[in-house]
Copies of this chain bind each other. A is one copy, B any other.
Amino acid sequence: MSDADHAQRSTGKSASGKLAGGKNRIDFQTAPERYRHWKLSIDGDVATLAMDVDEKAGLFEGYDLKLNSYDLGVDIELADAIERLRFEYPQVHALVLCSAKPRVFSAGANIRMLAGASHAHKVNFCKFTNETRNGIEDLSANSGLKSICAINGTAAGGGYELALATDYIMLVDDGSASVSLPELPLLAVLPGTGGLTRVSDKRKVRRDLADVFCTTEEGVKGKRAVEWRLVDAVAPGSKFEDTIAACAKDFAAQSPRTAKGPGIKLAPLTRTFASDSIEYGTLSVEFARAERIATITLRGPIAPPPASAEAMMAQGAEFWLLKLARELDDAILHIRINELDVAAIVFKSAGEAAQVLAYDAFLDANRDHWLTREIRHLWKRVLKRVDLTSRSLVTLIEPGSCFAGTLAELTFASDRSYMLLGQREGDNKPPATIALSEANFGPYPMSHGLTRLGSRFLADPADLEQAKSERHKMLDAERAQKLGFRLVGGTPEQLGAHLKSEIDKWAKVAKAAGLAPK
């Protein structure tokens, strides 16, 4: 790690050159009216998302985003647009991904941006772009919104990888438009956003052809691209737009997504950034910088769940479980990319566990409503993001906490969960409990397809069944220990000392191995 990286890390700022426009952090919040790189348009049941990267609007100084190449800022807008299709436009049943620039679809991740980026930024950039592409596939697999990629020219590297995340790739047959993964022959690196995997495992390209493809700088075009299964179809330029439109209509007609709209508005998050904290509506983040700890305290609902799906629709983005998911997602992304010195994230919660269970029961009772389905899928994606955040994750279960049902998933996602024994001095709250609901046994699978509890209890299905039989009960530390949900109990002082010694230990190990700033 260079000295410059060290300096950047120690400020807690993003470690990839100087942010453009005098910004001091990367913001994951945006909205279509502020997009610089994409145009989202809706025509009946078909949405079109056109890539039109503003080359002067890079996230960092020092590079131009030529030829629809992208940086994290471009992908943040893409991810935002995909979320809005889910929540704001349930009537959309097919998506066309295309380029607004002539004869170029996308040149992929911007090479100059990558060359100037720190390792930490590149890792987080790749992670987020992968999550966005997984999100496009999730949109198809679980929300019935199939996507078509219209490649009107060069689709190289990350440009083709973006296409690979869609269900159907159409390539213009004009003698020059091509798809390629030139990372290996040009840069001697592997495609970082799922290219090889999707070529072989998703599109099932013959492995000998896949090998030739990803070692050939110029890529493959025309009919050969179809024969090799790299794209699904080609069409001449004169018929390209009509063919895409017909295909989109077809996909929309076949979609199992039946919602008619209107959706709900994803209003901007209300956040207050202070030097050592961020305040959201349903959670707060506190930074103990000397200890390298960020503590996220989630707040339970302040009111019972709405009386009906219609009432939930009326609450819209204010509906507690939706608001919390969006805010938690934003907080995690912020810590990942802007707070590189945070070594451990500690989850706490405060509220009525019974109310959390009531919200889970509400979602369950309305499980066929499009909005509850989308909220569940959002939680699934946010929890996967937590799983893959690459910081030490610790949950503290204390008197007054509400790690129940959906929120209890955070304790299972954590590397360590600690449960306080007994009560705090001068605090008359009853001892800490956790509780399970249906939400812990299905709707939030991890990346490998198993639930967190299914993964934990892989050795013996009976353990999983026993946990299931204890749904909706408040489980104290002893019972939780028996069921396999906590490792360490202790007084607040013991837990605090333990946590500090753990972080000191790992800081030393990382330093000795040259993995941390000196």
- Looking at the complex, which one of B203, B417, B510 makes contact with A188 (CB distance below 8 Å)? B510
* Chain A 203-215 per-residue mask, 1 if CB under 8 angstroms from chain B, else 0: 1111111011000
A417–B206 contact, CB under 8 A? Answer: no
Report whether A208 and B417 are in contact in the complex, using a CB–CB cutoff of 8 Å. Answer: yes
Q: A185-B505, A212-B487, A509-B188 are in contact. Are A206 and B457 (CB under 8 A)?
A: yes
Asked if A229 lies at the interface with its beta carbon under 8 angstroms from chain B, I say yes
Is the pair A211, B505 in contact by a Cβ cutoff of 8 Å? no
| A457–B458 alpha-carbon span in the complex (Å) | 33
A459 to B206, CA, bound (A): 7
Tell me the complex Cα distance, A211–B515, Å. Answer: 20
- Contact B509–A185 (Cβ < 8 Å): yes
Check: A115 CB closer than 8 A to any chain B CB.
no
List B contacts of A187 (CB < 8 A).
Answer: 509, 513
Residues of B within 8 A of A267 (CB): none
| A204 contact from B212, B459, B513, Cβ within 8 A | B459
A110 to B57 CA separation, bound complex (whole angstroms): 53
- Further 8 A-B residue pairs, CB within 8 A, beyond A207-B455, A208-B484, A229-B459: A187-B513, A188-B512, A188-B513, A203-B459, A204-B459, A208-B416, A208-B456, A208-B487
By the criterion of a CB under 8 Å from any partner CB, how many residues of chain A are at the interface? 33
Which residues of B lie under 8 Å from residue A42 when comparing CB positions? Answer: none
Q: Is A189 an interface residue (CB 8 A)?
A: yes
**What are the residues of chain B within 8 A of A209 when measuring CB–CB?**
487
A498-518 CB contacts (< 8 Å) to partner B: 505, 509-510, 512-513, 515
User: Within the complex, what minimum Cβ distance (angstroms) separates A203 from chain B?
Assistant: 8
The verdict on A31 contacting chain B, using a C-beta distance below 8 Å, is no
- Give residues 465-518 of A contacting B (CB, 8 Å): 484, 487, 505, 509-510, 512-513, 515
Answer whether residue A123 sits at the interface, using C-beta atoms and an 8 A cutoff. no
Q: Evaluate contact between A484 and B415: CB separation under 8 angstroms.
A: no
Contact B459 A188, beta carbon cutoff 8 Å: no
Give the CA-CA distance A165 to B512 in the complex, in Å: 31
Interface presence of A184 (CB below 8 A): yes
With beta carbons under 8 angstroms apart, the residue of B185, B484, B513 that contacts A206 is B484
Residue pair B206, A456 in contact (C-beta under 8 Å)? yes
Cross-chain contact A459 with B205 (CB below 8 angstroms): yes
Contacts of A186 in B (CB 8 A): 509
Q: Report the nearest B residue to A511, measured CB to CB.
A: B188
B509 touches A204 (CB 8 A): no
* Interface contact A416-B211, CB-CB below 8 Å: yes
Q: Which residues of B contact A459 (CB under 8 A)?
A: 203-206, 229
Q: How far is the CB of A77 from chain B (nearest CB, A)?
A: 31
A–B complex contacts, Cβ < 8 Å, 16 sampled: A184-B509, A185-B505, A186-B509, A187-B513, A188-B512, A189-B513, A200-B458, A203-B459, A206-B456, A206-B458, A206-B484, A207-B455, A208-B416, A208-B456, A209-B487, A212-B416
B415 near A211 with CB under 8 A, answer yes
Q: How far is the CB of A363 from chain B (nearest CB, A)?
A: 26
The docked-state distance in angstroms from the alpha carbon of A114 to that of B458 is 34
Contact A456 B185 (CB under 8 A): no
10 shortest interchain CB distances as A-B pairs: A188-B513, A204-B459, A204-B458, A188-B509, A211-B415, A207-B456, A206-B456, A188-B515, A188-B510, A207-B455
Q: Which residues of B contact A512 (CB under 8 A)?
A: 188
What's the nearest-Cβ distance from chain B to residue A29, in Å?
33
CB distance from A513 to the nearest CB of B (A): 3
Chain B residues whose C-beta falls within 8 Å of the C-beta of A457 in the assembled complex: 206
A484: chain B residues within 8 A (beta carbon): 206, 208
Whole-angstrom distance between the alpha carbons of A292 and B28 in the complex? 49
CA distance A512 to B212 in the complex (A): 21
In whole angstroms, what is the CA distance A205 to B456 when docked?
Answer: 8
User: Which residues of chain A in 193-227 are interfacial with respect to chain B, using CB atoms and an 8 Å cutoff?
Assistant: 200, 203-209, 211-212
Q: How far is the CB of A486 from chain B (nearest CB, A)?
A: 9
Residue of B nearest to A512 (CB): B188
CA distance A459 to B200 in the complex (A): 9
Q: Residue of B at shortest CB range from A229?
A: B459
**What B residues does A417 contact at CB under 8 A?**
208
Within the assembled complex, what's the spacing in Å between the Cα atoms of A261 and B456?
Answer: 45
